[in-house]
Structure 1
Amino acid sequence: MYKGKTFIISGPSGVGKSTVLKELFQDRDDLCFSVSATTRPPRPGEINGVHYHFTDVDEFRKMISEDAFLEYAEYVGNFYGTPKKFVDEAMEQGKDVVLDIEVQGALQVVHKRPDVVRIFIAPPSWQALEERLTSRGTDSPEKVQKRLVRAKVELQTANTYDYFVINDTVERAVREINAIMLAEHCKPAERMAILSE
């Protein structure tokens, strides 16, 4: 049985990661989405174990002390993290695991698991990113500017990733990510093991 791989998907806010991932998971039962743990309270409609693993600060700190996270961070007074247990169990079942995390979290994961595959999703142009962030209508102009400043910093780290996908159309981005995942499973180290059994 194949062991699954871990794929990190990163990219600036407004690049369309959620839309791409939703499409990527269509008709794929060999893929697993890593659900993060958080200490923030659930929002209306959020389900424990589906949207997040909701926990309290004491339990989260205990998990940190037990090295139970691939990565974690504190953001606006709440903790967020990727539990190792879930990722490892899915991989043992032969499923690939997708982590949707920002660049700082990705660095933490790579430090613990150098074999992860990192995919950076970028906008087709800077203008397209500005238009997407503005047209969402969810943020004030000041917040849009903050997101753009952060996007510039994140884009500068893109060359440290294994792959670079441009989200000009969702279909093309998904096709490229599927191709990357397939190629990663065609490496000799994995295929040769089958012959030696």
Structure 2
Amino acid sequence: MKGPTSKGIERRQRDISSIKCTLALLSEAVTDPANFISDRRLHSAVSSQGALAKLADDRRSIIAMSLNHQRKVAEELPGGFLALDRLRRAVKSALEQQSTREHEAGRTNKAALRARIVELEALILSLRQDLIIVQRAYDHRCAQARSYAKGASAAIRALCEKEQREIEATFSLRSVHSTQNEKVVSIKTARPRAPQHG
């Protein structure tokens, strides 16, 4: 009876090495599933015993083989095929749990962003309302000042006009000028709305 040929021994060693590399890959994945969550090939490989046997990865020196052959070769390693299959199922579970965690985290982040948008929209509305109040108060104050200045001396009237121009120049720096209906207008356009006196 002839013994194994050198080619047979070489192939056997290659197959054993491949399964060892598969075990190393599975050990990495079960330890850090987040790092493998986007590896669709690994997801597919751990879905069943047959799929894992067909896994091929040249970079990791993993070669595809039949399930029966993988079973036979794995029995030569500590723990046998049972250890390999147990690790496969552990990786499958770890990837599923990681996927669920990331999905839930994504839903939480979206909900938080929606809540923040609602909060900012409310703040914008409040600021617009405050701007309308301030602009109306300013227009009213200017109208009063002009009314009071009419009965004063020419010097007082000139001073009043000068100071109001300075105030208007400051207000013109605003980026938004709102009316009560939230239309954007200039200060001079808004002024006629103020009550007139005298």
Is this a same-fold pair by TM over 0.5? no
Comparing both structures, which one devotes a greater share of its residues to strand? Answer: 1
Higher helix share: 2
The TM-score normalised by the length of structure 1 is 0.24
- TM-score normalised by the chain length of structure 2: 0.23
Q: Which has the larger radius of gyration?
A: 2
Q: Does 1 or 2 have the higher relative contact order (CA < 8 Å, sep 6+)?
A: 1
